[in-house]
Amino acid sequence: MSRWEADVEAWIAGDPDPLSREELRALLARDDDEELARRFARPLRFGTAGLRGPVMAGPSGMNRYSVRRATQGVVAWLAQRGDDVGRGVVVGRDARHGSPAFADEVVAVLLGAGVRVWELPAALPTPFVPYCVKTLGACAGVMITASHNPPQDNGYKLYAGDGAQILAPDDEVVERFAREAPLDPPLGSRDSDVHEWVTADVLERYRTHLLERFAPRGGSDLAIVYTPLHGVGGESARDLLRRAGYRQVHVVDAQFAPDPDFPTLPFPNPEEPGALDLAIRLARETGADLVLANDPDADRLGAAIPDQGQWRALRGDEIGCLLASALFDAGIAPGDVVATTIVSSTLLAAMAREYGVTFELTLTGFKWIARAAREHRLAFGYEEALGFAVDDAVADKDGLSAALALARLAHDLAASGRTLVDRLDELEERYGVHATAQVSLRLADEAAAGRVVALLRAHAPTTLGGVAVRAVVDLRDGWRGLAATDGLIFELGERGRVVVRPSGTEPKVKFYLEVTEVTGPTLRARRAEAARQLRAISDDVRALAADVA
């Protein structure tokens, strides 16, 4: 008899999916404890962006029952808070495997509990959900998506009534209520009086607002290549770019239609090496000026630019500081705030100091960035993982508005005979070189990532890349007023720093490197020295991680 039999039978008793029940019974019948352990030993937890995991039966996977239980947890959480559920919950989904069925479960559970539902009419970009939460005055929002994760994954992202992702302890409350959820909740149907489809005019208000803010006057001859990486951003992004007046918009046909298998990509993440290869090939063929790429749920933006006859993908820190420079030049109102995370470049802080703008440092994750301004307005926020907030209509990262903003900057620079490369040069001449890199190591599971950080905590390096580690900051103790989190900062004095943390969405441990205060007679020489130093630190970090992994 399998050691998991009682757990499996208890799960089967509530699982509404007959195929999942059959799958689990087959595993029990052949005493496949290894596979059952994968599905039951580590139930999904609300992490950096809600639930996320492989589509499979059992509490460790995304499936109809885990979604049903999570939604019952949301209903109980709203009741505990005393929220007026007549304000409604916005529900959206992407085009991943399982997304339509999971959205059906969310809607049915909410309606069965008497909660008003505002449902998006199709598979649409994630930013539409937080936008609708704010615009419709809803009390929460749910988006079924795994963003840029591999094709076997899906997820459940939960937004609070302010349109931002939920924070602790709300995530723990939802999780506890989900565990205690009854087996057979009442379910509603879409013919209910409290179900409404989000109408086209609501989504058009979002588009109109962005176009009024970021469309160049008189249109533009800037040549753009765009790819949604097989995700749901394609139609929305192409429509926005064309309506903004960009007369030369080329799309990567092989990646334009939503496809949950992401057949042209090793990982559907614009950060990953090779993700922009097809777009860059098309850019060369068409003589484009700019490549723009959204991740599969279109809340992130990747970009590539021509530089001395070659195309290169921009790092998130480079895009962030380019976007910030445009917003600073346009003027940021007194009291407005700009923000980024502890793993992003320190260049934004230097820019904010010069402009006299309030700067806030946050933990990793847009749930923190979105609330960094507190009672003021967040004029701009970004994280190095290609997440950007250029307009506070959406209290989350938004790859569509960021694409419009970056294209507008490229257009404005071209009008004066300059490029995005020129702007990057100007920023580093003005504020000094801020060279960043990331080392990301994929491990067997999330627990392994935590163990690597724990071992580095116990055995911290004394040097990295030949530079002395001047101090070690343990983020579990909190730092500079930030909440405690699992991570470390190895400070290299004036030369930079290395931040290490387990990923909140994937089984990875990530190292974020920054080198600053390099000297040299020219910008080119200073960049070369910074690159050399980054390589040395990266080599040491990889060796260190291999030793403890």
Q: Are 144 and 316 in contact, with CB atoms under 8 Å apart?
A: no
Measure Cα distances from 328 to 81, 244, 323, 353, 409 in Å. Answer: 39, 22, 9, 11, 12
Measure Cα distances from 100 to 121, 149, 315, 319 in Å. Answer: 11, 18, 33, 33
Catalytic pick among 60, 99, 147, 345: 147
Pairing of strands 220-227, 246-251: parallel
| 3-state SS record for 216-266 | CCCCEEEEEEEECCCCCCHHHHHHHHHHCCEEEEEECHHHCCCCCCCCCCC
**CA 511, 167, 260: angle at the middle one, nearest 5?**
65
Measure Cα distances from 16 to 12, 13, 68, 265 in Å. Answer: 8, 9, 9, 33
- Tokens at residue 274, please? 């090779």
- Tokens at residue 217, please? 């006057």
Within 13 Å of residue 457, how many CA atoms lie on the same side as its CB?
A: 16
Tell me how far apart the terminal alpha carbons of the chain are, to the nearest angstrom: 34
Measure Cα distances from 487 to 170, 367, 388, 401 in Å. Answer: 22, 18, 23, 31
Q: Are 251 and 241 in contact, with CB atoms under 8 Å apart?
A: no
Q: Are 463 and 469 in contact, with CB atoms under 8 Å apart?
A: yes
Tell me the three state secondary structure of residue 152: coil
20 is catalytic: no
Q: Are 496 and 514 in contact, with CB atoms under 8 Å apart?
A: yes
In whole angstroms, give the CA distance from residue 382 to residue 391: 11
In whole angstroms, give the CA distance from residue 147 to residue 101: 17
Q: Are 195 and 119 in contact, with CB atoms under 8 Å apart?
A: yes
Q: Would residue 422 be called left, alpha or beta, if left means φ above 0 and alpha means ψ between -120 and 50 degrees?
A: alpha
What residue has token string 């992401």?
Answer: 262
- Residue 334, judged by CB atoms within 10 A of its CB (0-12, 13-18, 19+), counts as exposed
- Tokens at residue 362, please? 């946050």
User: What are the residue numbers of the active site?
Assistant: 147
